[in-house]
Amino acid sequence: MPLVLATTTPGEPEIFASVQGEGPSMGRPCTFIRLSRCNLACEWCDTAYTWHFDDDQRPHRSGMTFERRANQVTLDEADVAARVEALGQSRLVITGGEPLMQAPALAKLLELLPDHTVEIETNGTTTAPARVDIWVDQYNVSPKLAHSGNPAELALIPERLRSYSIDERAFFKFVVATPEDVAEAAELVRAHALPKKRVFLMPEGTDSETLREREKWLTQSCLEHGFRMSDRLHIHLFGDTRGT
């Protein structure tokens, strides 16, 4: 089955070169591929156009839904690989949506790009099959807290978190908006033995003012818990826009 991608404009797949805006690779030049569809539904999701289509009844705080045909495009793996190669970057970030929902096609794509350093951004509800995992250099795992609106039994699966906790390629990024979110993240880190040196707190927000205000108190939270802090560099540079 071919890959189903998000779009920047109708019919144009969201494949682009930029610097990584979040997490342990922040600032690195990369090619990004944004895949469509997600098995979770975060109320604050800033890429709701990858899943909140007109027929989707799951809640989102914007109240907006998106027309599927304008926001999805299907391409075969060779076409996607050629577009990635044309952008000339050695580091590839697969994001979404939830990329591991398309693992069979993703495996075929990565087989065509053997010289790339590969990051996969995932919500941590599943693990990659061997055909994908063999190509992955870094997992950016973002477990969803209660304020995402997802039931814990869907979003926080103990055996999945444990699998990532013992994989040194995996880094954990908790999106937080309040001190209560930090406390919840800290309890999850404790309960699932997530290595603190691979845990990031990142402010939820889609504008610089919100991010900066939250980072002021997040700094102290990171000092107290021994976590790292992630900014959202792309928001400061480009705003809340596609293809950046």
All residues at 6 or more sequence positions from 4 whose CB lies less than 8 Å from its CB, including other chains: 35, 36, 37, 72, 73, 74, 102
CA contacts within 13 A on the Cβ side of 73: 18
**Does residue 232 carry a pLDDT above 90?**
yes
Task: Give tens-digit pLDDT for 36-87.
Answer: 999 999 999 999 999 999 989 999 999 999 999 999 999 999 999 999 999 9
**In 3-state terms, what secondary structure has residue 173?**
strand
State the alpha helices, DSSP H only, in the chain.
Answer: 68-71, 77-87, 103-111, 130-133, 152-155, 158-165, 179-191, 208-225, 233-238
Task: Give tens-digit pLDDT for 114-159.
Answer: 999 999 999 999 999 999 999 999 999 999 999 999 999 999 999 9
180 vs 169: CA distance, rounded Å: 28
pTM over 0.75: yes
19 vs 13: CA distance, rounded Å: 18
CATH architecture for segment(s) 3-174: Alpha-Beta Barrel (3.20)
pLDDT at 1: 77
